[in-house]
Amino acid sequence: MFSSVAFYINSAGPSQPFMGFGIYSPEGLRDYIPNANLTVPVGQTMNWYLTLTNDMGSAQFVQIVVRMGNLTTPSPNATTPLTGYAPLLSLQQFVGDGETTKIPFTWNLQVVNESANNSTVFLAMLVNGQAVSSEPIFALHGQNFRLIFELWTFNSETNGFLYGYGSSSSRTGCWLQVWFNA
131 domain-assigned: yes
> Where is 62: in which H helix or E strand?
strand 60-69
* pLDDT band, residue 147 (cuts 50/70/90): very high
Please indicate, yes or no, if residue 78 is contained in any of the structural domains.
Answer: yes
**pLDDT in the model for residue 3:** 59
Band (pLDDT 50/70/90 cuts) for residue 32 is low
* pLDDT mean across residues, the chain: 86
CA–CA gap between residue 5 and residue 54 (Å, rounded): 32
Once rounded to an integer, what is the mean pLDDT over residues 47-62?
A: 93
pLDDT band at 167 (very low <50, low <70, confident <90, very high): confident
Question: What CA–CA distance (Å, rounded) separates 87 from 82?
Answer: 10
> In the 8-state DSSP scheme, what is residue 181?
B
**Could you tell me if residue 10 is inside a domain?**
no
pLDDT in tens, 115-146: 777 689 999 999 999 999 998 999 999 999 99
Query: H-type helices in the chain, by residue range?
Result: 2-10
Q: Helices in 18-131 by DSSP H: which ranges? A: none
- Whether 21 is in a domain gets the answer no
Residue 91, domain extent: 26-180
- On whether the CB atoms of residues 94 and 64 are closer than 8 A, the answer is no
In-domain check, residue 18: no
Q: pLDDT band for 24, please (50, 70, 90 cuts).
A: confident
The DSSP secondary structure of 127-155, one letter per residue, reads ETTEEEE-TT--EETT--EEEEEEEEEEE
Average pLDDT over residues 28-52: 77
Question: Which positions ≥6 away from 99 have C-beta within 8 Å?
Answer: 53, 54
CATH code (residue 120): 2.60.40
Domain membership of residue 142 (yes or no) is yes
What is the total count of domains within the chain?
1
Judged against a pLDDT cut of 70, whether residue 175 lies above it is answered with yes
The per-residue pLDDT for 37 is 67
* 5, part of any domain: no
**pLDDT for residue 9 is more than 70:** no
Q: Would you say the pTM of this structure is higher than 0.75?
A: yes
In-domain check, residue 17: no
Q: How far is residue 177 from each of residues 17, 73, 112, 168, measured CA to CA in Å?
A: 23, 12, 21, 25
* Mean local confidence (pLDDT), 161-179: 89
CA 37 to chain centre: 20
Query: How far apart, in whole angstroms, are the C-alpha atoms of residue 82 and residue 84?
Result: 7
